[in-house]
Structure 1
């Protein structure tokens, strides 16, 4: 056990990892540890890792190398690798970095306390075996006092040919709706205003829970969950991510339109705009089906923001197939798009295919896609000019202390002059005066202005 108990967690990757890090921080604080901003001053360091892309993995190894050297001089330092790289590499990590004390996969985040007790009693521990994820009674140490993540389903049963997530996060395990609601009730009591429900494939929520309706559908679905948690006191906004087009239903879209607290923002990855590439990826839908989903969303909520993920340079992707992706992006007009060049991941089918594209081709396509994304996002942003948007104030603008920052219901980052002490956690009306591709600026309207939370925006005359 370290004499002074200071910990530091560095988090790589997705929102799921961020939520896992908050839970691990909560466990450490229950154990008497305190947060340390400076890694080199901490007695216990956790790298919560991501293996979606090679560059994130390599960054982990460079960080680890520096701390391993430090541990050679200070044997009391406790070094932990958690998350997806830990799950994927397991004992190989110990061979590569023998200074490590604990290697633990994402399914073991809730067990951090007991695993560390084994470490402090002299063991070097690897925890990567599949487990049933126990309902966690630890309170996360959340990074924000305004918005919070709430895990609703762990793991993924999909088998996309490029993706390592099912291998490292395990099979789908849904949390009971009562436990999710209970966690949200507690968040509402603590003053949180916004909750994002999280799942690697959130539309699969409930498939593994018992019970079917008389009509023969699963009794617990994401749609049902939204109705279950919608009236939690204190919670003003609800978001969810990440969706899969294969399971995205009109029933879910209708619920989002009907429930005032559910924000008009949908994150639905499409990955490619070409059907042959989608088939090779094992995605289980066509670009036509994806377009229909967006059409239905916009028929219910014309102003809804759509964000997505896309991969370029998938093995065998031709120039004309890539142009189909450009065409889809141009015609749909996304508010935001996370883009990546294909990166072969260990243990995935696509990594073994001989039709790998050169780094030059992948880089060129990524650049062309990013240029189009920025152009379309800037066009989409123009609709906010002159409108009054409801903004939930989250923090001070780090680049300008005279400004605060928050998000609109459509998830657009918005900056405006204001005092964080009086505004943090409040839903306020902001007149938008400047619209950039991925963010907005404006000014706060007087107390007399009121916004109906169920409407996307008000337009000034």
Structure 2
């Protein structure tokens, strides 16, 4: 099925040869950031250049997120400003991509008739084809189910050192609060050979760190054929890590986002055994109460989550654990919320992304009668955030006086004399921009930094 076409717009946008600047604003998760890099690569291959500012661009693309209501509403406020521009300049091209586009489809055109293209996340690789239809004077909606073909586009990377590499698209889970499966589609795993080939290309261009991405990355390979002689799936995340580990030039490998239901001991053992895999694991737990987890349809218990963390720390004692958590889920009692606080305190997370529950369209929990008030959401979120920062400070304290390997990523924007990078455990670290002999540090350098100042979410030090 091809993209839906509606009636022509009154004035067709100019062709790519006549307009050469673009601007992409990305909302939401790492998957969206990776999609934006690919779409920027497509635009530049078409002859576009990045504009100096959003209001100067000839093509404006919003890559949207619908995981929270406030992110979705922010998109509409941005669109209102651009719609006003379009009324004064009909040659401006307006594109909404990502999850809001998938969720709203043609309804977006009724709400913002100035839009030229509405495209779901499965269509990111088809941007050039869809824009060619726009240039013929059509408003285009591309939200149908689409098989994501292997991408041969060179993404325009925001970093020259660290790169995202998608390994699995979509999600087959059915968490009762989450809209992702309905907007990103079913799981589609890339072949390990294609992933390794992309990583080899990135290594040849000087990239040092790769983050393997998936909405539910531990599910990698479930849709690929093949069974080993031992009777297990031939393609798993563990097998993929072992397959790509030998890529020359890549110094560090990370992966996200994990699901506790599929985080296996075999995966943990492989991470401990593979030197390039960083000791940092992002494993959302969402709630510290079993009854709430059951209502969320998460498929694991708090005890199962604790066992995962215990196993990681048994094999990699210094490993950093980060997570996501939702407070004020429908029906959550104060006692259940206290269980979440207790788990945060017991685990000692290095970082936790917190959010109050936000009802999302077409999800079961949105229609449940026991929704909690905004006042309760704010109160619980504030209490949780205070505890999260307290725990992060406590975890940061262990770095004081230690020497950490840091990958130089760039310059500290607040202090150009400093460089910034991250430890293997993902702590942001600031340090002098040159070696003792005066040689400037460049992005991609690996340096040892003696940590002299610790904060909740960052470190500072000197070169060791």
TM (norm. structure 1) is 0.96
1:430 is aligned to 449
Q: Is 1:18 matched with 2:29?
A: no
Aligned with residue 332 of structure 1, among 335, 347, 352: 347
Long gaps (5+) in structure 2: 1-14
2:218 is aligned to 203
The 5 A counterparts of 1:168-183 are: 168-183=183-198
1:251 is aligned to 266
2:80 is aligned to 65
Deviation at 1:215, TM superposition (A): 2.0
CA-to-partner distance for each residue in 1:62-82, whole Å, 9 max, x for gaps? 000000000000000000000
1:280 is aligned to 295
Distance (Å, rounded) in 1 between the aligned partners of 2:298 and 2:129: 38
CA-to-partner distance for each residue in 1:352-404, whole Å, 9 max, x for gaps? 00000000001100000000000011001011011100000101111111111
**3-state secondary structure, aligned to 1:124:** strand
1:155 is aligned to 170
Distance (Å, rounded) in 2 between the aligned partners of 1:9 and 1:402: 30
Long gaps (5+) in structure 1: 446-461
The 5 A counterparts of 1:204-219 are: 204-219=219-234
1:108 is aligned to 123
The 5 A counterparts of 1:208-357 are: 208-357=223-372
Deviation at 1:423, TM superposition (A): 2.6
The 5 A counterparts of 1:27-42 are: 27-42=42-57
Distance (Å, rounded) in 2 between the aligned partners of 1:45 and 1:121: 18
Deviation at 1:421, TM superposition (A): 5.4
Aligned with residue 158 of structure 2, among 143, 147, 155: 143
1:443 is aligned to 462
CA-to-partner distance for each residue in 1:31-65, whole Å, 9 max, x for gaps? 00001130111000000000000000000000000
Deviation at 1:4, TM superposition (A): 2.6
Q: Do 2:408 and 2:441's aligned partners in 1 also have CA atoms closer than 8 Å? A: no
Aligned length: 445
**3-state secondary structure, aligned to 1:423:** coil
When the two chains are superposed, the root-mean-square deviation of aligned CA atoms in Å is: 0.8
The 5 A counterparts of 1:389-408 are: 389-408=404-423
